[in-house]
Amino acid sequence: MVIVKRGTRGVMAFWAEGQRTLPAFEVDVVDTTGAGDAFDVGFIVAARLRGLGIDDALAYANAVAAVKVTRPGARAVPTHEEVVAFLAARA
């Protein structure tokens, strides 16, 4: 699998069985430091630890990064509960 993070242009993912493109969430950006790392961790947690499929894991990771950029500092990563609430508010 190859994932291309494109900042405000969203994310693209390619794997043997298919590909997906997701737009970025519209948020008020405060600090983008660590957004890519937050996305990576979000995807790993969603896909491996929570057992989500690729589409849901990409959406979860996208939400992790979106919430992260609304806060200052590289360590301002949201909790699982914050990500779930963020996604629910946009469903």
Catalytic residue positions, numbered: 37
How long a stretch of residues is the chain?
91
Residue 85's H or E segment, with its range, is helix 80-89
- Rounded Cα distance between 30 and 55, Å, is 27
